[in-house]
Structure 1
Amino acid sequence: MNDPSLRDVADWWATAVSRVEPDRIELRGRPVQDLIGTISFTDAIWLMLRGDTPTPGRRRLLEAALVSSVDHGPHAPSIAVARMAATCGIGLNNAVATGVNLLGDVHGGAGEQCMRMLAEIAAGADAAEVVDRWRATSRYLPGFGHRFHTVDPRRDPLLTLVEQAVTDGVVQGDYLRAAQAVERILAVGRRRPVPINIDGCTAVVYGELGFAPPLARGLFVLSRSVGILAHAWEETGQGRRNKGPIPPSILPTHLGDDPCTGEDSTPT
């Protein structure tokens, strides 16, 4: 086997995302000095992921989706754990990373899952059949319903923007119509409907904008990182040390079973 050449090493990290050389920084072929002060952060996200910059209508949709997912309070595990981490003597970056690392299939992944489901319907599959198939795998339909909100307050503003974008010819509306079809199916026979939630709304936006489903989760991570950072920073100023999930005055319920025998070991 021949020793690797300089070309082999260079090709190992071949990329079209950026070009960094002495006195040169390019992002997707565009000199960074031409971008600074001339494009928004939302434009930069689009540029890095897609290779160009969005039209004004598409920029507006992407920015709205990013803003909508920034925070959902300490009830969100990613926020809570970042706040706890911030009191443990680690850096702010570690606290943010701790929160981001909780964004998985259950917390933070519903947007990607919903996008895959809506893509089936947008491609022509029967909405009722798709819903039945997804329901057969989980009691929760990704992107619909919410444990706190009867109607997610972020739903109407986002979907209204998508509807306007469809009217203006910015997007096609296939994902929007798919989501509306699922809402109608879920409302049948119910006194209280099961409306689309923030994960479903952003799935509609990202689908309409042509992003791949895994990027729905990646974009959610970017958005929620802002809230995680804000909460972690706030916590560092509150003076707590080693903050746990509940106040020290509240003790966890003791189940009492001996882990070895399975028998109740609680003193009588």
Structure 2
Amino acid sequence: MTSTTPGAGTTPGGAGGAGTPGVGDGAGATPGVTSTAAGVGDGADWWATGISDIAPGVIRFRGYAIEELIGEVSFAQMVWLMTRGELPSAGEARLLELTLVAAVDHGPQAPSIAAARMAASCGLALNNAMATGVNLLGDVHGGAGQQCLQVLYDLGASGQEPAELVAEYKERKAFIPGFGHRFHPRDPRRDPLIGAAQQAVAEGIISGRYVELALALESALAPIPMNIDGATATIYAELGFPVPLARGLFVLSRSVGILAHAYEQSQEPTRIKGPLPKGVLPTYTGTPPRNLT
């Protein structure tokens, strides 16, 4: 199918980046430096951004002063504002928050968590250990939500029957991202997320178009159930998030778990904790012992 995803490959709100040169986060006031909005000063457009407007004594995000946002908006609302440019409704923010809570951790059996813990055991600072874990998140580990969101958008745009798409994947012996789980026979995060989405449909918060498509895919794939990636992708589709942001939101959520595990490991006395317990050697599959002469 040809991709017709709204906003695919782009992030709403223009280019990201810092504010006016010379006024950094925590930097002292710089005489003569004005807001990027004013477009004054040498290099003022170097990191032009529609996200943050920073000047001495002024911090605005998408036009809102930080002093008005603090205490008035939730973190989920702030995430929406920063990535989408506007504040969500209370119902939309609630759905986004559910996805962020659901994806926060999956224990040390997740490579990103294990890597962060290994890094912490090697004495790396928390930010370095977190970066180690986050950098393991990609197409294979951590990318299924983004991939499923693309499938849902393409399916909605093409008008193809979900059962036909499932048949195509089966013919190719391929897996539809967002369904089935290597660890859980039925992902315990699926039901509360889809249940909340269905309730939001009943309340008129979202249309239900992508909820219907996701459930139709699940029905055609039975007995393979939807997993967290499929459930969060369904909600992101209903909320209109561009495809690339699905992975970013997953990484944002999982970073909390990575932080917690890295910190826990940093408080333990064990140093240089490798991928295998002490005394366990990896299986050697190479050439048997032999002599050089």
TM > 0.5: yes
Distance 2:173 2:237 in 1: 22
**Residue 68, structure 1, aligned to residue 98, structure 2:** no
**Residue 177, structure 1, aligned to residue 212, structure 2:** yes
Instruction: Find the counterpart in structure 1 of residue 236 from structure 2.
Output: 206
Kindly report which structure 2 residues correspond to 1:46-125, keeping only aligned pairs within 5 A, or say none: 46-123=80-157, 124-125=159-160
Instruction: Find the counterpart in structure 2 of residue 45 from structure 1.
Output: 79
**1:169 Cα deviation from its structure 2 partner:** 0.7
Paired amino acid for 1:40? S
Gaps of 5+ in 2: 1-38
Query: Residue 25 of structure 1: which of 54, 59, 63 is its match?
Result: 59
Paired amino acid for 1:67? V
Task: Encode CA deviations 1:231-250: one digit per residue, 9 max, x unaligned.
Answer: 00000111111110111111
Contact 2:179 2:226 in 1 (8 A): yes
**Number of residue-to-residue matches in the alignment:** 252
Instruction: Find the counterpart in structure 2 of residue 260 from structure 1.
Output: none
Q: Which runs of 4+ in 1 moved over 3 A?
A: 5-8, 132-139, 264-267
Contact 1:256 1:265 in 2 (8 A): no
Instruction: Find the counterpart in structure 2 of residue 162 from structure 1.
Output: 197
Query: Residue 242 of structure 1: which of 239, 262, 272 is its match?
Result: 272
What is the TM-score normalised by the length of structure 2?
A: 0.82
**1:51 Cα deviation from its structure 2 partner:** 1.4
Give the match's secondary structure for 2:44.
helix
Distance 2:84 2:114 in 1: 33
Distance 2:172 2:260 in 1: 36
Instruction: Find the counterpart in structure 2 of residue 231 from structure 1.
Output: 261
Task: Encode CA deviations 1:178-217: one digit per residue, 9 max, x unaligned.
Answer: 1111111112xxxxx1000001100001111110111110
Higher mean displacement: 8-17 or 93-102: 8-17
Q: Percent identity?
A: 56
Query: Residue 226 of structure 2: which of 192, 196, 214 is its match?
Result: 196
Gaps of 5+ in 1: 188-192, 258-263
Distance 1:97 1:137 in 2: 36
Distance 2:41 2:236 in 1: 38
Distance change (3 Å), C-alpha of 1:23 and 1:80 = same
**1:11 Cα deviation from its structure 2 partner:** 2.0
Contact 1:256 1:266 in 2 (8 A): no
**Residue 265, structure 1, aligned to residue 265, structure 2:** no
CA RMSD of aligned residues (A): 1.8
Paired amino acid for 2:262? A
What is the TM-score normalised by the length of structure 1?
A: 0.89
Contact 1:176 1:204 in 2 (8 A): yes
